[in-house]
Structure 1
């Protein structure tokens, strides 16, 4: 049995999903390692956005592709949710609107199956239907509330920092039953997105904790873990999908978990 980490100490985990002893790094002389705050990503970290997208996409896109089989629908949804990061990055950069990026992603999915919107009006109708359908499917992951309970019991402050605008993410959290996450920083708060240090620092300011005593948890290794480290926080990669990284990327992501339930033991709460 591996020894438990000392209270407030974060440990490193392996990258291949194997059960291996955690490596505890004791604080250096004069260094504090006490975890007093946790900042969280939202999408795919506390909210199952991909699941909500999948259900809404099938509901509103079915009339456009009535003959797709199950495997093809899985491909359609994966193109939208995981195969269109370049389009979403254009939204983050301010090149297109949020609505435009959704339509462009849908057009990419349709094109993969030899289809297309026949007019701008049809695209607008699809978008209206999708925007109405998706919120009804938004849910929190099962491990979120127990994790927040553990943080509260340990007296650890928490909040969220997201690469989307505040009001949209606030509505998403509330719909998912996560009103208890009161501190929320969106990209409109400081005019930049992760991995820019400024958005993490705004989260720290609102949380009232120092960077070196705060952990950031997210599903994107580059934006959430490397970005957090660049801002002085300790990043934890929430790898719900058992994804693998190449050696260079793995070296920059020393701490990963498969569930939020693993984090209290890592930070000694």
Structure 2
């Protein structure tokens, strides 16, 4: 069996992947910045590794053939960190990278972070690594946090639609791709099974919370003004995520999760029923 490493294992997605690998009895290595925070998963070897430390990250990947590369946190330095990580993986002899990209990743995508994902995909290929790109849409897990304290979702998404995908379903897909080399050199759109707009999103949140939650479509100018105190890259990213919904760039509904794993992903309503902790703060 290929030796597998997982990055971002202290985060929401990587920790789920580690748990699923452990449940299947698959030995794996968890590459984390703080080993004390790593999940305690059966069969997991924990090593300290940081994208900001290329030499240390390269050493952490010694003997690894397949790597789950979870994208770094958004920020001005993210592409430098991704360059470090990809170069280190290539130098360590990694063969294949399963990378958490974004739906519609392209150099001229409306969503600024989708442009960074496209560049990272290019870097992985450029360094001779076989890529499995998981182009995930927006996570269902974060949708409840779009609502403000007043119960209103605000943003310039117009009446665009998106098929929210649960992190748990992405984790199931990532594990399947890590364990099957047949997914090498593939680019997968990863979504939930149905596309809804933000009015429908708010209505479903209202049903589970018992609160009156609504969606208010903003203009781009209103949205930027409402975030005037943030850094420009943060404003561009936040506004761009909504604009990508408005333009239809994330209106895709794919069958990837079901096709690869054999089980349909949750709809947004099913996610809310299965993961009440995700919206408990709204009650």
TM-score bucket of the superposed structures, by smaller chain: under 0.3
| Greater strand share, structure number | 2
Structure 1 length normalisation: TM-score? 0.26
Q: Which has the larger radius of gyration?
A: 1
